[in-house]
Structure 1
Amino acid sequence: MPSLVTEPGIIHYETYGRGRPVLLLHGWLGSWALWRDTIEVLGRDFRTYALDFFGFGESGVVADRQTRRTSAYTVPIYVEMVHQFMDRMGIVKAPLIGHSMGGTVSLSMAINHPDKVVKVGVIGSPIDGNSLNFLLKLSGNPKMAAFFWLFEGRGLRVFLRGYSYFMARDGRAMSRMINKDVSMISMESFFQSIGTLRQTNLRPELGRVCVPTLGMYGQRDIIVRSSENQTLKAGVPHAQIEWFPDAGHFIMMDSPDRFINTLRTFLLSNGS
């Protein structure tokens, strides 16, 4: 299980393939495992790195900082995490591909560290936190998060086990993945991460994204408003927008063939 110690904490990651580096960033409540099928294909042409954000999967904030850090699981911290990961791994620059919250972090990297980002791809990502599902926005409230976390999160897992059947076409596979990922998080990472995502609004800064950009959005998304594809296009006019009418929030699960072909073509095109 490869891991890397950075200033904010310990990063768990999985790597596969050979060639130019590509970073894959998961969404809220997820882990690197979201990309398990993706890295098998991209690994034919690239060296892929799939990271766990702090508080998710196997990554965590350094123990002796835990009590002093009040916002360890925020979008700015995750941006710094990716930045330090690249520096420590000797990755001068690379494409960043992110799902949901991971895409928000990827765009933030392109805005704040443009020298590090060759291309950026987002899948069902919120540009403005107000585009999140109402229940997700409620989860960012500490009192509501505490309610959701009653009985050590068992109630939340029961709810998500049922709700996940509406998130993807293969509800059973979605339920298994969500249940496993949620079992590895804490209440703090649960509400801090979604709270900061809800407060994030990248629209005023999108004009600073100068690298090739890909946005993939599903019409059946019940997590993030699918109209965020228009928000991305308005702020980044050169962005390539791919619309998936039969997919929801997890496009890589609902439309796997078109998803991987679109992503691979984007990464292999000139400028990667």
Structure 2
Amino acid sequence: MCRYKVGRIVPLLVTEAPNAGIIHYETHGRGRPVLFLHGWLGSWQLWRSTIEEIGKEFKTYSIDFWGFGDSRAGGENNRNLDVFRVDSFVEMVNQFMDKLGIPKAAIIGHSMGGTVSLSMAIKYPEKVVKTACVGSPIDGASLNLLLKLSGIPAFAFLVWRSPALLRLFLRAYSYFMASDGRRMAKMITSDVSKTSMESFFQSIGTLRNTNLTPDLGKITMPTLGIYGKRDIIVRPQQRHVLQAGVPHAKIIYYENAGHFPMLDVESDFIAAIRAFLKEK
């Protein structure tokens, strides 16, 4: 299934019950498949530069989670909040691979997307060749206070009633989240405009209550964790939790990056991802 936008065709995939919906995704290149998963309040746009470069050697897929970007869950109209849970996103990725006939893939996720990537490695190890997480919470307790509050329906409702103030706050906060605050502000305000209130609070609420630490020992495939010293969204000490639970994991720690190393240290980040994917 495809939808037309000016000048291009947008690929869409229809999933089945119980979590029926439409998944928007972008692809680049050809070769071994690599899935890229965005974080909370994000979309495939975060990965644009990365997938264009990695797509020169691999077949890349960048997916919008239900309720974010251009993906829509069938349950949105009847307020089926379960579709916006982190574990539902895991099933969404699993079904996406089945629908497109992808038996195995490397999966790379940012923030919440990294938690989904690791969860795929734990629950469906036969489908994950390699897994990588970028600025991801292993334990949801590592999220900053604002994100934790955003998972409370009453707080989310108050925020959602003041969209102009939310946009203003996000624009200002962008300069603390990434070195290129203007670029970050443009991207996040665009992405938030496509986010539903239900996906806003339900996804971060379940992420806050997720703790993968007890199950990390089930991850046996090559694993990469990337964290930035300046991260104000997820405590960068989570890299130690990942390393302790997955001793064979490779950890990259950028002194001059925050929560978005794919933006802060773009060339180094892409080189690190490429090297990880090419390792035997």
**TM-score for both structures, normalised by structure 1:** 0.97
Q: Deviations over 1:219-260 (max 9, x none)?
A: 000000000000000100000000100000000111111101
| 1:35 aligned to which of 37, 47, 50 | 47
Q: How far apart are residue 189 of structure 1 and its match?
A: 0.7
Amino acid paired to 1:54: W
**Preserved contact between residue 81 and residue 202 of structure 2 (Cα < 8 Å):** no
Distance in structure 2 (CA, Å) of the matches to 1:69 and 1:143? 17
Amino acid at match of 1:22: V
Contact kept? 2:81, 2:198, Cα under 8 Å: no
Q: CA deviation at 1:67?
A: 1.3
Identity of aligned residues (%): 62
User: What stretches of structure 2 of length at least 5 have no aligned partner?
Assistant: 1-9
1:151-162 matches, within 5 Å, as: 151=162, 153-162=163-172
Shift of 1:114: 0.5
Partner residue of 1:227 out of 237, 247, 251: 237
**Distance (Å, rounded) in 1 between the aligned partners of 2:77 and 2:239:** 37
Paired residues, what number? 268
The superposition leaves residues 116-174 of structure 1 with CA deviations (integer Å, 9 ceiling, x where unpaired) of: 100001100000000001110010001111111113x2321111111111100000000
Normalised to the residue count of structure 2, the TM-score between the two structures is 0.94
Q: Does the CA contact (< 8 Å) of 1:149 and 1:155 recur in 2?
A: no
Could you say which residue in structure 1 is the equivalent of 2:12?
A: 3
Indicate yes or no: 2:102 matched with 1:95.
no
1:52 corresponds to 2:52? no
Residue of structure 1 aligned with 2:32, choices 16, 20, 26 = 20
Shift of 1:71: 1.6
Q: Any idea what the Cα deviations from partners look like across 1:167-212, whole Å, max 9, x if unmatched?
A: 0000000000001000101111100010000000000000000110
Query: Given the alignment of the two structures, is residue 133 of structure 1 paired with residue 144 of structure 2, yes or no?
Result: yes
Task: Return the letter of the residue paired with 1:11.
Answer: I
**Counterpart pick for 1:211 among 204, 209, 221:** 221
Counterpart contact for 1:219–1:247, Cα < 8 Å: yes
Q: Provide the residue aligned with 1:169 in structure 2.
A: 179
Q: Where does structure 1 differ by over 2 angstroms across 4 or more consecutive aligned residues? A: none
Partner in structure 1 of residue 3 of structure 2: none
Who is 1:186 aligned against? 196
User: CA–CA distance in 1 between the matches of 2:82 and 2:157?
Assistant: 17
2:103 partner amino acid: V
Residues 76-103 of structure 1, C-alpha deviations (whole Å, 9 max, x = no match): 1000000000000000000000000000
Shift of 1:66: 3.7
Structure 1: runs of 5+ lacking an equivalent = none
Instruction: Provide the C-alpha distance between the structure 2 equivalents of 1:66 and 1:267, rounded to a whole number of angstroms.
Output: 39
